[in-house]
Amino acid sequence: MAKKQINVRVEEDVYATIEERAKAAGMDVPDYARTVLADEGNDLRHRFLNAGAHFTEEWGDHFAERFGHPAPAKHDTRGNAA
| DSSP per residue, 19-81 | HHHHHHTT--HHHHHHHHHHHHT-HHHHHHHHHHHHHHHHHHHHHHHHH-PPPPPPB-TTS-B
Show the domain range for 32. 12-67
Q: For residue 23, is it within any domain? A: yes
Q: For residue 29, is it within any domain? A: yes
Q: For residue 79, is it within any domain? A: no
On whether the pTM is more than 0.85, the answer is no
- Mean pLDDT value across the chain: 86
- Provide the pLDDT confidence category of residue 25 given band limits of 50, 70 and 90: very high
Q: For residue 2, is it within any domain? A: no
Q: For residue 80, is it within any domain? A: no
Q: In the chain, how many domains are there?
A: 1
Q: For residue 42, is it within any domain? A: yes
Q: For residue 39, is it within any domain? A: yes
